[in-house]
Amino acid sequence: MLKNKFKILAVTMSLTLMGSLFTGCGTSKTGGNTTGKSTIKVNIAADPKTIDPGLNNSVEGGHVITNAFEGLTNLDKNEKSVPGVAEKWDVSSDGLTYTFHLRKKAKWSDGKTVKASDFEYAWKRALDPKTASQYAYQLFYLKNGEAYNTGKSTAANVGVKATDDYTLVATLESPTPYFISLTAFPTYAPVRKDIVEKNPTTWATKAETYISNGPFKMVEYKQKDSLNFEKNSNYWNAKNVKIDRIEFKTLENESSYYSAFKTGQLDLIDKPPAAEIPGLLKDGTAKSYPYLGTYFYDINVSPQAKGVNSQAAKVLSDARVRKALNLAIDRTSIVEKISKGGEKPATSFVPLGTSDSNGNEFTNKEYLPKTADVSQAKKLLAEAGYPDGKGFPQLEILYNTMQNHQNIAQAVQDMWKKNLGINITLRNVERKVHLTDLQKHNFLLGRDGWIADYNDAMTFLDMFTTGNGNNNTGYSNTKYDQLIAQAKAEPDKAKRAVLLHSAEDQLMTDLPIIPIYYYTEVVCMNKKLKNVHISNLGFFIFRDASLQK
């Protein structure tokens, strides 16, 4: 009886707290807004670590940046590249030189003209080793981009040049069939040199300095609460932007933000509580969208792992152990009994639906079983010197706050105990700490997820090259690095696809990762909110959205 009483009290306190989070905020037209503005409230599930286009590498930050900034191109509702700041472009016959012609009407939110030099500055800033951008490698397609980032060349030699205020010339290392789609990605967005260099560490944390060039501009940033944006009247296509205000909420608890959606305090959420998903999909409250991504665990195989736990680091350096951990997981059980969003068990790292740029779907291999192969897992663990888990050190799974992450971690914990006889502890931290610990390799096993930056297998594979800013595992294999480098330089699409498959073969042999499932994006949306682009690259884009009266 006391447990139930405390539970009721806890729920009451949670609802009271949730109500306080929205006190004083304007409501959407569906809630009777008296200001006459169409305001929507969107939950992004965490306070972004950063919303600096050159530094962000999280989905929550990406939601904000893709609505505040505009690159040379945009993605339309079919994920095709369409003109953005660049109204047109030319490509040389050898596929190495791109000349972008910028709109003369493109303005920053403070009214100043968007210039080609703003792009040149932004791209070179992201490549500058002093910036320490985890996404610097996404600009290695530029001539001498990697050389500059690794200290072997200078900024002046990087293949991007503003030849005048409205012309930007990009020169590539090798022909890159998806380069145009890359120019819509946040890291390729322009930033203003005068703004950034005046406030290098704080410019992206204050409304007065967060000068952007997209359809929305920041008007208020409440840490751990909301990031509030309004329509940017200086945006070149402002007349077609129908949403007046977006409030990006940062609620991390699924029950809290789902309750807020049910009571009309939020207009859009994703990842509702897993137990609710089947019913929400059935009655149409939620919809499942395509999502090019993989949910997985990083295995820390970096030198820093010794500083976390030297004994565990030694054990995890054995490929037989890493494979045993992979084989002992029942992925089908996880997607059917825990996540429940229509996800597919991940038997490889590159997810289903990804292109090989040769006109085919890339994924055609199953490296891992969909259900656990306990006998083979036990055999490998015994060969590594730990029969039935005897003498095996205790490991720890790091994950960020969300009930689904906790449920999956507990399931994996139970599977490894039952199937291998090994003990696992769990560590739950807020998102910012989670991202920092992954980046600094301050973990043994870490919850991770990767969503495509563009529809090509390369976006899932080049992140595991040696020293890559998004390679949280610390994995390093010379053969793998060479295969990725060869694939990037290979103009023949069929040969390139073979090289990428060989790279994934190597990755899935070494297994510095534990793929769990391929994502789906389950979204609950106010039925009066129309034309929101739920991108399969992981962004909510409101450029063309509208809110019916």
Distance in angstroms (rounded) separating the CA atoms of residues 327 and 381: 11
As a dihedral over the C-alpha atoms of residue 201, residue 70, residue 209, residue 107, rounded to 10 degrees, the angle is: 140
Give the class (CATH, top level) of 293-519: alpha beta
The whole-number pLDDT of residue 142 equals 98
The whole-number pLDDT of residue 27 equals 38
The whole-number pLDDT of residue 35 equals 55
Question: Would you give per-residue pLDDT tens digits along the chain (549 residues)?
Answer: 344 433 333 333 344 444 444 543 333 434 334 356 899 999 999 999 999 999 999 999 999 999 999 999 999 999 999 999 999 999 999 999 999 999 999 999 999 999 999 999 999 999 999 999 999 999 999 999 999 999 999 999 999 999 999 999 999 999 998 999 999 999 999 999 999 999 999 999 999 999 999 999 999 999 889 999 999 999 999 999 999 999 999 999 999 999 999 999 999 999 999 999 999 999 999 999 999 999 999 999 999 999 999 999 999 999 999 999 999 999 999 999 999 999 999 999 999 999 987 778 897 789 999 999 999 999 999 999 999 999 999 999 999 999 999 999 999 999 999 999 999 999 999 999 999 999 999 999 999 999 999 999 999 999 999 999 999 999 999 999 999 999 999 989 899 999 999 999 999 999 999 999 999 999 999 999 999 999 999 999 999 999 998
Which DSSP string do the residues of 166-226 spell out, in sequence order?
Answer: TEEEEEBSS--TTHHHHTTSGGGS---HHHHHHSTTTGGGSTTT----SSEEEEEEETTTE
Distances, alpha carbon 254 to alpha carbons 18, 44, 204, 259, 411, in Å: 12, 11, 27, 8, 18
The whole-number pLDDT of residue 9 equals 35
* Domain locations in the chain as residue ranges: 69-194, 293-519
Handedness of CA 355, 361, 364, 366 (dihedral sign): positive
Distances, alpha carbon 442 to alpha carbons 56, 178, 243, 308, 450, in Å: 19, 34, 42, 6, 19
The whole-number pLDDT of residue 14 equals 43
Report yes or no on whether pTM surpasses 0.95. no
Q: Does domain 69-194 have CATH number 3.90.76.10?
A: yes
**Which residues, in sequence order, are bridge partners of residue 355?**
361
**Which residues, in sequence order, are bridge partners of residue 448?**
296
Identify whether the C-beta of residue 28 lies closer than 8 Å to the C-beta of residue 545. Answer: no
3-state secondary structure 451-514: ECCCCCCHHHHHHHCCCCCCCCCCCCCHHHHHHHHHHHHCCCHHHHHHHHHHHHHHHHHHCCEE
SS3 content of the chain, % helix, strand, coil (to 5): 35, 20, 45
Identify whether the C-beta of residue 302 lies closer than 8 Å to the C-beta of residue 441. Answer: yes
180-192 CB burial, b ≥16 within 10 A, e <16: bbbbbbbbbbbbb
**Residue 94 region, left (φ>0) first, then alpha (ψ -120 to 50), else beta?**
alpha
The whole-number pLDDT of residue 138 equals 96
The whole-number pLDDT of residue 177 equals 86
Nearest to 190 by CA among 124, 98, 141: 124
Distance in angstroms (rounded) separating the CA atoms of residues 466 and 460: 14
